Structure 1
Amino acid sequence: MTDRVAIIGAGAWGTALALAFARAGRAVTLWGRDAARMQAMANSRTCGEILPGIALEPGIRPVSALAELAAHPLIVMAVPTQALWTMARQLRGEVAPTAIILSAAKGIERETGYFVTESMADALGPHRFGVLSGPSFAADVARGLPTAIVLALAEAETAERIAQALSGPGFRVYHSTDIRGVEIGGAAKNVLAIAAGIVAGMGLGESARAAMIARGFAELRRFAASHGARPETLMGLSGLGDLVLTASSPQSRNYALGLALGAGKPLAAANPSGKLAEGAFTAAILADMAARRQVEMPIVTAVARVLAGAISVPDAVRELMSRPLRAE
């Protein structure tokens, strides 16, 4: 059931996953909506401008017709969280009812508060849904550099079988049944990475950034616990691992956004490349969900207020530093 994999979304991350799965011996159908671009990839056997200098593996077949997905037992949705429901809705009637569908997005749908598996279930109806997450940059995966991620699915044996099938040289896939914990780790770390970037952009030093990551991780764990997530999930790749990566490298779009904000750039000018920073969409809904569950998330709330223009970056830092001292 795992010999053939379809990936929806031919951006950098979807293409990088296609490369990793093909190197693991899978036959991969890579779907993108731009027919001309997909044909160009097929003709040139390269990844094009999204991953310059990277050749397509022989096992990858670029397509632009959804009908090409019908026979695939495993579908990976590599599209942004805020576009996930719309894309999943288009798959109704195009994929087999027995297909397992995984999301590779990291976020929370801001209009509904849906986690990614909830969004796909609402759009597609009955299927088996799961999630791929963990510390990974598309460029690293595309180049074959050592990377480890997590696949979460409700059925433990199926999760293990798929994880083994997708693992290959330099790309390890661990498995879990804690879907919600993996989803929350991937979503919350993006918001916290913006905060880490702000600290660095303001020149507050490595000690401050380390403290922010540690206290932010405490917020992430509290929120996850309120949703029944397992503590060991958050201590693993999809929680602490992904937070450490995303909150420490300018390769992270969320960290880069925070760097710009911390350096004094207005939000409109903080992301001149236009590349998606998922945390900017997740911050407000995450802060709202935490408040409704009475979970303290002061760092997440501060990021949400900065992004909404409700408070300046320096004032947000001052507020956080003046909070009452407490036991850790």
Structure 2
Amino acid sequence: MVNNSYEHYRRGVNCYWNSMSLLLEQHGLEHMILKHLSFGYIYSNSKLDITFELEAESSNSLGWLDQYINIKRYRLSEEELYEFLKQNKDPFLLCVNIKALASEYRSFPNIHDYHYLNVVSIEDESVRVKDQYFGYRGLIPINLILKAIQPDTIVQIGEVIQLEVNYDYLKEKSKDIINLIRNELLMRFDQYLEGTFKFDGVLNYVGKKALEKLSEELDTVIFSAIERAESIQDNWNYLLRRFNTSFIYSREGMIFYLTKYKNLFPFDISILVNCMEESLAITRHMSFLIIQANLKKKGPEDLIRSFKQKLEEVIKIEEKIYEQINLLRSELDKISI
């Protein structure tokens, strides 16, 4: 049983995999999500574009999980969704325009963008939502949900995702699945130890190398964010979201997973998890420094000075994480899985 203090942790870098993780959990299959987690941290360039946050790293395919789980995807109109909500009894994902929800719920950001909600159940004229990414858990009126899927330029809006699971087949293949999960952890180890990987032709830095690269380019990272042609507040929020995605969310997801499913692995991972938590505490403080700079209207120079000090601290801890992962990687080599 996972410590309740981890329950608020995000389960991946984007809203899709956070909600998919919950959907798998509701089917008793969350342990299969490791393929779409990363040890973090991840950094690619100083421009703070989509490659910085690397949401594209995990495509919306389940990969080898497709062998064991069937995903049903379809797009519904407002009328079709209303009928679906009245008849459906199982949890599902629904893609909405997040701006529509923000008009009534402050948990959601007031931006025109798509977001995958995890819909747990229907209660009278409301849907019960468990949203790990933005931290909202509760009811949302069906009328507002219908408003949030109105025709839009965002192509994903209105998409429904359900899982079809053959539990007898999964039970029959349980040993194969455990071996695949352990092999997936091995690949995550190797990616972290390598320190870099390429995705879609873009070189990405991982772990200690990501922090060192961020430190080298910190001035450019921060100035490129706050000099955008938006309001000062929007620019600080832009920096905050990009930083959190690359230097908090991926690490949270892996800590949650390793803590909850530690019994899947034939070695003690407690020291590794403790080091990751120590490192995460510092990057969370760095995230708070961005919020503080915005609220107190500080200049970028103040933030850069504070960040550089914190980066020195977190890099030292990341060296311990590297040592632990290297040690566990060696142990895994000795074990036949």
Please report the TM-score for the alignment, with normalisation by the length of structure 2: 0.26
Q: Relative contact order: is structure 1 or structure 2 higher (C-alpha 8 Å, sep ≥ 6)?
A: 2
Tell me the TM-score normalized by structure 1: 0.27
User: Which has a greater percent of helix?
Assistant: 2
Q: Which has the larger radius of gyration?
A: 2
